[in-house]
Amino acid sequence: MKVKLDFCDVGPGFSKTNNFFIQILKRRFEVELVDCPDFLIYLVPSQHVHRLHNCVRIYVGTESYLPDWKECDYALTPNYVEDPRHLRLPFYVFAREGPRLLVRKDEEDPAKLLAEKTGFCSWVVSTNHPVRNRKRLEFFQKLSLYKKVDSGGRFMNNIGGPIAAGWDAKVEFLRRYKFNLAFENESHEGYTTEKIYDAMMARTVPIYWGNPRIAEEFNAKSFLNYFDYGSDEALLEKIIALDRDDAQYLEYARQPYFHGNQPNEFYNPDRMLDFFERIFTTPIQPVSRRRRFFEINRWLLARKNRPHPPLASG
């Protein structure tokens, strides 16, 4: 089946010709990238370029925002949404290198990894909202009263400067520590970003807060889940106990990250391919053609900001 597709409103560095969605879709469909597509995938709704297209629009959400069905026909977001137009897709699934690196290997030696760790706990945050992000800052400050938590991001940096940009540099930094403070920007059901994935990649025990249903995606015995403790004080007590007892710590470090040491359902390519096949084969009147009015100011903004690079450059 041949599919005429395009991408817009994407982040910097995104390649139209080589990305997670293209690689998955090519397993079942013949994908043709065109300027006037039948189907459009967009990621950043505030950029508004998608509003210039009157084809079927597919929104891929990276944050906790619910789909705006006045803007899109289908959506893939981290949220739990009971709607046939929606498929749950956590951010870490398409933003990182896949599940293979999180599957525990028999040759891994957690005791050896623990012996190589030189720090107590890490934290990497670039920006902070005083209200929305208050929880993670308060916990960072409380944990720092026990031992120094090394903050390697731009916010609250206490190691002499932020670590280098990029995923590899972050994982290498986290690898030095026994724990990583992996608090999301906010607590929202379904909202799981790259934070817990990165900590697991570094083979450090994540201290997690964010998605109350996180234990459905990852084995809760492999990390410290705030929602299992109910208060800052109870979780702090557990962290201190593990820090002071290597045997207890290693009980967590030896656990598989996935249930049964197998990637969770969100990594199943057939799950997403079936969803897209339904999109590509179901005739609908796109939402863009159902609207009688158009917000002129946003249209002008989108037209002004519309990128014009060659298609192959991404």
Torsion of CA 268, 271, 275, 280, to 10 degrees: 70
Instruction: Report the pLDDT value the prediction gives residue 198, as an integer from 0 to 100.
Output: 97
- Which range marks the domain in which residue 16 is found? 2-95+266-306
Residue 274 is predicted with a pLDDT of 98
**Same-domain status, 170 and 274:** no
pLDDT recorded at residue 305: 52
Tell me if 188 is assigned to some domain: yes
Task: Check whether residue 131 and residue 254 sit in a common domain.
Answer: yes
pLDDT of residue 314: 36
* Judgement on whether residues 104 and 203 belong to the same structural domain of the protein: yes
76 and 224 housed in the same domain: no
- Does residue 117 sit within a domain? yes
**Within-domain flag for 297:** yes
Q: What string of H, E and C letters represents the secondary structure of 22-40? A: HHHHCCCCEEEECCCCCEE
106 and 90 fall within a common domain: no
Q: What's residue 207's pLDDT?
A: 98
Whether residues 60 and 41 fall in one domain:
yes
Asked if 152 and 198 sit in the same domain, the reply is yes
Instruction: Please check whether residue 165 is in contact with residue 138, taking contact to mean a CB–CB distance below 8 angstroms.
Output: no
Same domain, 157 and 257: yes
The Cβ of residue 275 has, within 10 Å, a number of other Cβ atoms equal to 18
In a domain, residue 311? The reply is no
10 Å Cβ neighbour count for 94?
20
- Domain membership of residue 15 (yes or no) is yes
DSSP structure class, residue 222: G
Cα angle, residue 306 at apex, residues 10 and 32 outer, rounded to 5°: 60
Is there a single domain that holds both residue 186 and residue 236?
yes
User: Comparing C-alpha atoms, which of 225, 257, 222, 254 is closest to residue 114?
Assistant: 254
Question: Residue 286: which CATH number?
Answer: 3.40.50.11650
Q: Is the dihedral of CA 227, 187, 181, 43 positive or negative?
A: positive
Q: pTM to 2 decimals?
A: 0.88
pLDDT of residue 310: 39
For residues 248 and 180, membership in a common domain is answered with: yes
pLDDT value at position 309?
41
Task: Give the three-state DSSP class for 60.
Answer: strand
CATH number of the domain where residue 234 is located:
3.40.50.11660
Long-range CB contacts for residues 307-310, cutoff 8 Å, separation at least 24: 307/8, 307/49
Which is nearest to 188 in space by CA: 91, 114, 73, 283?
91
Give me the residue label for tokens 């990238």: 33
Give a yes or no: residue 314 inside a domain.
no
Query: CA Rg, the chain, in Å?
Result: 21
190: left (phi over 0), alpha (psi -120 to 50) or beta: left
Spatial distance between the Cα atoms of 7 and 311, rounded to a whole number of angstroms = 10
Contact 59, 51 (CB under 8 A): no
d(CA 221, CA 224): 8
Q: Which whole-number Å values give the CA distances from 32 to 7, 39, 313, in the listed order? A: 11, 11, 15
Question: Has residue 312 been placed in a domain?
Answer: no
Rounded Cα distance, 235 and 239, in Å: 6
For residue 183, which phi and psi values (nearest 5 degrees)? -95, 135
Residue 289: the pLDDT is 86
Q: Does a structural domain hold residue 83?
A: yes
Can you give the pLDDT at residue 308? 43
Q: 227 with 174, same domain? A: yes
Question: For each of the chain's 314 residues, which pLDDT tens digit applies?
Answer: 999 999 999 988 899 999 999 999 999 999 999 999 999 999 998 888 999 999 999 999 999 999 999 999 999 999 999 999 999 999 999 999 889 999 999 889 999 999 999 999 999 999 989 888 899 999 999 999 999 999 999 999 999 999 999 999 999 999 999 999 999 999 999 999 999 999 999 999 999 999 999 999 999 999 999 999 989 999 999 999 999 999 999 999 999 999 999 999 999 999 999 999 999 999 999 998 875 544 545 555 555 455 444 333 33
**Co-location of 110 and 245 in the same domain:** yes
Mapped onto helix, strand or coil, the DSSP state of residue 185 is coil
Number of domains in the chain: 2
